[in-house]
Structure 1
Amino acid sequence: MNTETPPPNRLWNLEGWRLRWKVTAVVAIPVTVAMVLGALRVQEELSAAAHFSEAADQTSIVAPLLAMDTAFGLYVGGAISRTGSPSDAEQVTEMMAAMRETAANPDLDPAVVANVERLIDETEALRGQIANMGVEEVAARTVAIQDDAAKTVSDVISPIGDDTILKEGNRLVDAWAAQRRLFGQTMAILALVENPKAPNTALISANGSELALIDVLARYFPEDDPTLTTLRQAVKDRTDMVSAAPSGQPPLFELRDSMIASQQIYTNLIKNSTSSITNKVAAKASETRSAAMRDAAVVLATLLATIALGLLVARSLIRPIRRLRRGALQVANEDLPKAIEQIKVGDVTAVTEFEPIPVHTNEEIGQLARAVDDMHGQALKLAGEQAHLRLQIGDMFETLARRSKSLVDQQLGLIENLEFEEKDPKRLESLFRLDHLAARMRRNGENLLILSGTRTRRGHSAPVQVGDVVRAAMSEVEDYQRVEVKATPQGAISGTVAIDVVHLLAELLDNSLRASPPDSKVTFNFARAVDGGLLLEITDRGIGIPAAEMAAINDRLASGGEVSPETARHMGLFVASRLADHHGLTVRMRPTFDTARNQGVTVSVHVPHSALVSPMSMGMTGPQSAVDSDGYPVTGEQPAVAEPAVPVTVTVGPGPLTTGPIGLPQRTPAEPSGLPQRTPAEPSGLPQRTPAEPNGLPRRTPAMLGVLAQRASAAQEDLAQSSPSAPSTSATSAPSPSPQPSPLAPTAGLPQRTPGASGLPQRTPGATTGLPPLNPEVSAPAPAAAPTPVVESAPAAPATMAEGMEPAGTTQHRYRVNSQKTASFFQPRANVEPLRPILHPQETTPIFSGMVSTGIVSDWLATPTPGEGSKNWTSAADEGWNAAQRASAPRVEAHTESGLPQRQPGHQLVPGGVNGADKITAKLRDPDAIREKLSRHQKGIRDGRAASHAERNSI
């Protein structure tokens, strides 16, 4: 998974914008455009409303101006023709006053106001000069004033810009122009009165102009409008009256009345047009104001709706995406890991049952949610398949590991038989090394079992002493000579935990030995924990581990051993963490020294109190029976003084030998061997225990090919229940005290591998298998005439050396671990009552159990019932045979290079033999020859050790 931080988003990088900003950007552009356009439209309508309101104010001057112009035209016509009345002058005065009052309105256009004031002034000036001016001059100035008034009205109406208002304005101007033609007719009639002989063209032209303007006004009225008909008829009547009148004498009063009537009609038309213009301008202003408000409301509502819709759309997009993201993260961080853990523990329902992402739409986001659900399902399916594949691989590993382990166990059995039968010390040393290498191979096979996840491994029901656990762990590493064990505390570890603790300590020891200099020691320390548990510490002086890496290792040790890509490179770490997690152990690493150059590593293993067993609650395991020179238990009946359960002391060579943990003779620590002695300053560093000390571990006896089931010999059916110590007799038949357990001197050879730890069922050498025996005289009862002789042995000297120290005068071979097996053929049979072998029927491998459960192993491998074997028996000749055996006890005068006793040909002939050999006398030996032989022997020891070291490194 890519955990790199994404690069910072650029502002112009639209792909990096969040969805909310993208939706905002999509909505903001059209909303902004709509807002601008709506504002412009509202602004335009508001401007139009203001314009129409201003135009309404401006048109207020039209009606007074037209009224003043009409009144002034009537006044001028009456004054010139002398037909006027005083009311005409008063009316002009009133109109001029009204006009001044209207022009004082501040809302009017200043230019219009200036024109109006100028017209008022000109009208006032012309009014005072009419009496002194001629008709033509008065008519010209009056027409000029009327033209200025018409231009002012046009300037007020034209800027309005509305078609309907312009149409009304045009009708107003046309009506006003037709009315002004009445003043032209008046001036033409007056000119005709003054000059009767003049042509009548001016009057005809004025009448024609009026009729033309009336036709123009007809466009604004329906056809056959009575007002226009009246005006046409009035023009015709005035023409007829002038034509019918005598030359120079037209009917002025009748003409004046006709003109006043027409003028009144025009005045009404002008008033109607002016009122219409004013009302329409005011209505238009109100309408545009209302439209502006309406448009503003519509634009605002549209903007709000657009924003609301954008928010809804954005929410409809963002909320499902958030649910999808939250669901996907929950699947990735919680649901999928939890389901995978359930799959790992065997819950198959986790593969098919899961909660879908809560997005249930059918659009693209819903389809994406379903795709995530499909990915979740496929991931669970893949996890299930991987778990199934992992189980299959684990089963395959387990099968291969068990088969390999079974073969290694068989190999160990064969090597042990070869060790038992081998008499050549050099070959025996090689066999010991092969035995040790096979034990390490077996540990690697057990690592495969742990890697495959197998929890059911070989077990042990009896508690195991702490010291035996440590020694068993030492026996499974290569450079065990470098391990130094401090004082071992009392107590034992539960049998169900001990085997895995041995494996765990072996892995930690192997790591410490490999990571430390070859000339340094690796130390075992022990302490009691505050909770009553046991604390074991393995200390080395290596280069150490960096703090960060050590913290990671401690985390992996505490995690319980998870399979990861590092497992193959750190198999020991994985095995240690898995074993610790299985039994509740705590394994931690820390530097041995904080400031030294080579800090080293100290590994602490905490065994909880629940896994410990107190010594008082442990059952007595008892020692094994002694074996004869052929390595098989003595089966003949012994004298009544012999008691069954003691390791006895026999006199051999220079000093007495004590029996080892499996009943074979051992030299006492203080025994001089006749070889060059190792000084006390040369401890081997290996822990030792006393010969008779029960170790709680299952004892392995020499097996027949390592594959037959353990069976008890019929000759060992009756196990004596007496004291664990038995007295032995000396060479003079004097009783000797019971031997006391004493610690053995540290050996330089291989540590003893725990018998029976191979996991395969074993058989005692003397057990009846149903097959032809290899040594019939051992398993069959001895004839009555030839009882087994008894060898009287001297009492063993108590050991006084401290544990872990080698006594002076003792030479130990480095591979002398189970020397009883290799030296037993040099010794006579010991006069010991046989013991019933301690059987462990549960110590079988799963492969062997499967063979037994499926009937592969036939019934002849089953353990015989008691009473089937031969019984112990005695005869009167036993004492004679015992005396003969005591007389033939060997005297060891020379040793091999490995420290084993060497027999001399003819020195073990039994008195009364076939050839009747003469008594052999001791031969005098030259001291110089002995010294020379000892020197050669010492040189051979050094050369042998060097060669052994080279061979060991080459394996």
Structure 2
Amino acid sequence: MLALAASVFVTGVLWVWASLETVASQRLPILLVGCVALALLCAATFVAAVHCAQLQEVHRHAESVESELTQLVDEILPTIARRLREGASIDTVKAEIPDHANEISGRIVQLFTKEIEVSERQREATMAACANAAGRVQAMTTSMLADLREMEYRHGEDVLGDLLKLDHCTSQASRLADSIAVLTGARTGRRWTKPIVMESVLRGAMGRISAYQRVRLHSTCTAAVVGYAAEDVMHLLAELMDNAAKFSKPSEDVHVHVEQLTSGVVVIVEDAGLGMKPHALERAERAVSTTEPPDLVTLSGTRLGLAVVGRLARKHQLRVRFRRSPRGGVSVVVRIPATLITDPCPEDVPTLRNRRPVEERGPQVSSRAAARLPKRRRGQTLTASPPPRTRHRAETTKPRTDAGARFSAFRAAVRPNTPPTTAD
């Protein structure tokens, strides 16, 4: 723009000088032509100045739109999606959104908010349907378990092994239904009214996996888990034990170590499997993190374990860490906070004091141990059965080596002493 103005000035000066240097008879035509040329040049300069101002205005507007769109994409739209997924209403979210000077940005925000709201409603409806289905399966498995356990006391030894196998399979189906309920935000079907001792929690977790015979417990812990969290802790440990058993050789054992500290109880589930690469360990850490929200989009249809562990860990503030195991596999460290740990019930204290430290191979009980099991009476639960009266009577009983003996011995250790309450 300055160059155009300078050119006009220089052209005018030169034209005046040229007219003065010419003869008087030609001076007037030269001045007239110079004035016309100068006027045209001034008009061109003015038009150029107007166009330059318009271009500057368009450039400023483009920069403003670009800045607003960048803020829209990087900040506003993710915030809208996050707030709607957290459960905020669309009116609340709209009130939190700042006003937009650009009409297009406002329309984009409005359209995006509407689509997110529709998708969230569809997702909530889908999750509610899944939770309803999981609740029905939970009710069915709970009823089946009650019927099977009543039949275990009613029928003879010839069918006891088969009944206990069905009991164990139904427990695994119940765990799967509980996993779906956890992922959909529903409640699990069992509630414990009293604290559950740690040994019963561990054995209850063992009883929910198929490879329970490969799990070895190493525990001297006499503490108990509060009743409202016992079921979730049991479920979390069952998922970790199941993963450890699935990703290790069938001939390898899964070792579970328990240590009681002032800050809570630490449970270590260790296997001798194939191990995990560093990026896989990081992905597993993120899946069970208590800070990052769950992401079910990347969830595989057959691998629900880590997602379930992450949900339960976030619910009760359990810390779950993955690390390499000295045995070649993976060690999972679970820290149960002190807020979930309490003393066992008074009626369980004598039993705990007389009990030896746990360091055995789950349900593999010798025939003499199976023979010392309490006699089941019709109408009685296993925990209510009277203990054997004399050692002589136990030794004279014929040893049982069938599946019923092994399963009944395992069930005696697995079932907690406190009856659960079933939630609808």
TM over 0.5: yes
Please tell me whether the aligned partners of residues 196 and 226 of structure 2 are also in contact (alpha carbons under 8 angstroms).
yes
1:774-826: CA deviation from partner (whole Å, max 9, x where unpaired): xxxxxxxxxxxxxxxxx9943689xxxxxxxxxxxx8865653564899xxxx
- What is the alpha-carbon distance in structure 2 between the residues aligned to residue 402 and residue 309 of structure 1? 73
Residues 330, 460 of structure 1: alpha-carbon distance in 2 compared, 3 angstrom cutoff: farther
**Aligned to 1:621, which of 347, 350, 358?**
347
- Map of 1:537 onto structure 2: 268
Q: Which has the larger radius of gyration?
A: 1
Please state if 1:429 is matched with 2:161: yes
How far did residue 352 of structure 1 move? 4.8
1:816 counterpart (402, 405, 409)? 405
Written as runs of structure 1 = structure 2, the 5 A alignment for 1:848-887 is: none
Q: What CA distance in whole angstroms lies between the structure 2 residues aligned with 1:490 and 1:496? A: 18
Instruction: Name the SS of the counterpart of 1:486 in structure 2.
Output: strand
SS of the aligned residue for 1:485 comes to strand
User: Which digits, 9 at most, give the CA deviation of each residue in 1:687-714, with x for residues without a partner?
Assistant: xxxxx7269xxxxxxxxxxxxxxxxxxx
Does 1:386 pair with 2:119?
yes
1:53 and 2:20 correspond: yes
Quick check: 2:217–2:362 contact (8 Å CA) kept in 1? no
Question: Would the alpha carbon gap of residues 302 and 750 (structure 1) be closer, same or farther in structure 2, given more than 3 Å must change?
Answer: farther
C-alpha separation between the residues in 2 aligned to 1:48 and 1:745?
A: 112
The offset of 1:590, in angstroms, is 1.3
| Paired amino acid for 2:197 | Q
Q: Equivalents in 2 of 1:812, 1:299: separation in Å?
A: 114
> Aligned partners of 1:565 and 1:474: how far apart in 2?
28
1:510 and 2:242 correspond: yes
8 Å CA contact 2:193, 2:421 repeated in 1: no
Task: State the alpha-carbon separation in 1 of the partners of residues 247 and 139 from structure 2.
Answer: 31
Partner secondary structure for residue 320 of structure 2:
strand
For residues 514 and 574 of structure 1, the distance between their equivalents in structure 2, rounded to whole angstroms, comes to 16
Q: Is the 8 A contact 1:475 1:750 kept in 2?
A: no
What's the CA shift for 1:747?
A: 7.3
Is contact 1:560-1:578 (8 Å) kept? no
Alignment-derived partner of residue 225 in structure 1: none
SS at match of 1:416: helix
Distance 1:446 1:741, change over 3 A: closer
Question: Would the aligned equivalents of 2:191 and 2:422 in 1 still touch at CA under 8 Å?
Answer: no
Equivalents in 2 of 1:284, 1:376: separation in Å? Answer: 67
Contact 1:516 1:542 in 2 (8 A): yes
Instruction: Describe the shift of the 1:742–1:302 C-alpha distance in structure 2 as closer, same or farther (beyond 3 A).
Output: closer
**Residue 521, structure 1, aligned to residue 253, structure 2:** yes
Give the equivalent residue in structure 1 for 2:329.
Answer: 600
**Residues 470 and 456 of structure 1, relative CA distance in 2, 3 Å threshold:** closer
Q: 2:307 and 2:62 mapped to 1: Cα distance?
A: 43
Cα distance in 2, alignment partners of residues 456 and 326 from structure 1: 48
Distance (Å, rounded) in 2 between the aligned partners of 1:585 and 1:819: 32
Tell whether the 8 Å contact from 1:483 to 1:522 is kept in structure 2 after alignment: yes
Provide Cα deviations, 1:916-947, integer angstroms capped at 9, x if missing partner: xxxxxxxxxxxxxxxxxxxxxxxxxxxxxxxx
Check whether the contact 1:621–1:694 (CA below 8 A) recurs between aligned residues.
Answer: no
Q: Give yes or no for the alignment of 1:419 onto 2:152.
A: yes
Equivalent residue in structure 1 for 2:423, among 809, 825, 845: 845
Q: Distance in 2 between matches of 1:412 and 1:541?
A: 33
Identity between Structure 1 and Structure 2 (%): 20
C-alpha separation between the residues in 2 aligned to 1:497 and 1:436? 23
In structure 1, runs of 5+ residues without a counterpart are 1-30, 56-159, 167-280, 360-368, 624-691, 696-739, 752-763, 768-790, 798-809, 823-837, 847-955
Structure 2 distance, partners of 1:552, 1:308, is 60
Bigger helix share: 2
CA spacing shift, 1:821–1:484, aligned 2, 3 Å? closer
In 2, Cα distance between equivalents of 1:295 and 1:796:
131
2:79 maps to which of 327, 333, 338: 338
Separation in 1 of the partners of 2:276 and 2:388?
59
Instruction: Give the match's secondary structure for 2:186.
Output: coil
RMSD (Å) for aligned C-alpha atoms: 4.1
- What aligned pairs does 1:543-558 form with structure 2 within 5 A after superposition? 543-558=274-289
Q: What pairs with 1:459-538 in structure 2 (closer than 5 Å)? A: 459-528=191-260, 532-538=263-269
Q: Secondary structure at the match of 1:843?
A: strand
Name the structure with the higher strand share: 2
Conservation of the 8 A alpha-carbon contact between 1:395 and 1:452: yes
1:447 is matched with: 179
Q: Distance in 1 between matches of 2:74 and 2:175?
A: 39
- Which of 762, 776, 794 is the aligned partner of 2:390? 794
Match of 2:190 among 458, 476, 480: 458
- CA shift in 2, pair 1:310/1:693, >3 Å: farther
Preserved contact between residue 215 and residue 361 of structure 2 (Cα < 8 Å)? no
TM-score (norm 2): 0.78
Q: Tell me if structure 1 keeps the 8 A contact 2:216–2:361.
A: no
SS at match of 1:565: coil
Letter in 2 for 1:403: R
Of 57, 64, 67, which aligns to 1:323? 64
What is the rounded CA distance, in whole Å, between the counterparts of 1:546 and 1:389 in structure 2?
Answer: 37
Q: Secondary structure at the match of 2:192?
A: coil
1:544 to 1:820, Cα distance in 2 relative to 1, 3 A: closer
- Give a deviation string over 1:32-77, Cα, whole Å, max 9, x none: 9x949x949954x65554444344xxxxxxxxxxxxxxxxxxxxxx
Is this contact kept in 1: 2:153–2:379, CA < 8 A?
no
Aligned partners of 1:747 and 1:812 also within 8 Å = no
> What letter is aligned with 1:550?
L
* CA distance in structure 1 between the partners assigned to 2:34 and 2:148 by the alignment: 117
- TM-score with structure 1 setting the length: 0.37
Deviations 1:220-274 (A, max 9, x none): xxxxxxxxxxxxxxxxxxxxxxxxxxxxxxxxxxxxxxxxxxxxxxxxxxxxxxx
- After superposition, the Cα gap between the structure-2 partners of 1:327 and 1:792, relative to the gap in structure 1 and judged at 3 Å, is closer
Q: Which residue of 2 aligns with 1:409?
A: 142
Q: How does 1:183-262 map to 2 (within 5 A)?
A: none
Which amino acid in structure 1 is aligned with residue 351 of structure 2?
E
Query: How much has 1:552 moved relative to structure 2?
Result: 1.5
d(CA) in 2 for partners of 1:750, 1:396: 41
Unaligned runs of at least 5 residues, structure 2: 366-377, 382-386, 394-398, 412-416
| CA deviation after TM superposition for structure 1 residue 415, in Å | 1.6
Structure 1 residue 398: Cα displacement? 1.5
Answer yes or no: is the 8 Å Cα contact 1:539–1:602 preserved in 2.
Answer: yes
Q: Report which structure shows greater RCO (CA 8 Å, sep ≥6).
A: 2
Change (3 A) 1:335 1:518: same
Partner Cα separation in structure 2 for residue 377 and residue 492 of structure 1 = 53
Q: Give the aligned residue type for 1:765.
A: G
2:379 pairs with 1:765: yes
How many residues of Structure 1 are paired with residues of Structure 2 in the alignment? 395
